Amino acid sequence: MTEIKTAVSGLSIPSVALGCMRIAEMSPEQVNELICGSVEEGITFFDHADIYGGGASEEVFARALALGPCRREDLILQSKCGIRDGFFDFSESHIVSSVEGILKRLDTDYLDILLLHRPDTLMEPDEVASAFTKLEEQGKVRHFGVSNQNPFQIELLKKSVKQPLLFNQLQLSLMRSGMIDSGFNVNMKVDASVDHDGGILDYCRLNDITIQAWSPFQYGFFEGVFLNNDQFPELNKEIDRLAEQYGVTNSAIAVAWILRHPARIQTIIGTTKISRVKDMAAAASFSLSREEWYSLYRAAGNSLP
């Protein structure tokens, strides 16, 4: 498994991480197999959120980890907070209490990484800064980041927060590539020229923020997957061609497309099947050529100027 070294902290993370949103209904034994099987593939990074399964995902993860032989200290555990029932909440009290709940459910003394889960327009940066400092000084959170935020939202946070914001979790896939599309279509009057994200891709590269790509197989906002989907024949034809060439599955090609970008983007996969984990982990064992990357981009329906 290839590693991504965060520039500011020196923290190294695997280029593929396992998302734990869908494990709430699994047994501890099943999750244990998923955890240990992922670790065998070099995937030691596990992404949680306090809302996944209403907290049940974190609880079953802790029970699974207690079965051994994988150890907490060998894993990187990330969780997110800030989404509540019908609103967002980045108040100091909610961030702190959320982390307390996360640590209890995960049965751990610390989180490696805490992300703010989506933006809160009522955010007071000084409150976030106070919460982050308290959690860091108490040894409860070691690193911090955000999700789904644009450059000015991050800059607003940085005005008060003293800790480096190391991560920004953003939706990215072959069929959801807006942050890439706008960079090709500068100074043009076409739909793809609309920058919905404030130049977030280049901003993160300039500021040493690691992008974490979520939903790498979705063609919309949870509308469905594009792999083996008859709606996208040209894309699947090209993916299948490259999968045969590299001796991997189509899912590995979809992940490899993200990993090929020089921004060194971490890809979060959300499968609950160890066989699929192995398939996707193979994406880190090869690198698409420039021509192959662009052929996939065009096959996804994108036109180059």
CB 281 within 8 A of CB 271: no
Mean pLDDT of 229-238: 97
Beta 87-88 vs 83-84: how paired, if at all? antiparallel
Residue 213 domain flag: yes
Range of the domain at 235: 12-299
Beta 141-147 vs 266-269: how paired, if at all? unpaired
CATH code for the domain in which residue 196 is found:
3.20.20.100
Helix (H) or strand (E) run with residue 40 in it: helix 28-40
Residue 2 domain flag: no
pLDDT in tens, 148-197: 999 999 999 999 999 999 999 999 999 999 999 999 999 888 989 999 99
130 has a pLDDT exceeding 90: yes
- Residue 163: name the closest of 148, 140, 144 by CA: 144
Residue 113 domain flag: yes
Q: Residue 287 contacts by C-beta under 8 Å, 6 or more apart in sequence?
A: 256, 259, 260
Distance CA 176, CA 211 (A): 15
pLDDT in tens, 38-73: 999 999 999 999 999 999 999 999 999 999 999 999
pTM greater than 0.75:
yes
Q: How many CA atoms lie within 13 A of 250 on its CB side?
A: 15
Joined tokens for residue 255: 């992940």
199 has a pLDDT exceeding 90: yes
Percent of the chain exceeding pLDDT 70 equals 100
Residue 304 domain flag: no
Residue 156 domain flag: yes
Report the number of distinct structural domains present in the chain. 1
Distance CA 140, CA 112 (A): 8
Residue 185 domain flag: yes
**Does residue 110 carry a catalytic annotation?**
no
Residue 66 domain flag: yes
Give me the catalytic one of 52, 203, 219, 297: 52
Residue 3 domain flag: no
DSSP labels for 146-196? Answer: EES--HHHHHHHHTT--S-EEEEEEE-BTTB-HHHHHHHSTT--SGGG--S
Cis peptide preceding 28, ω within 30 of 0: no
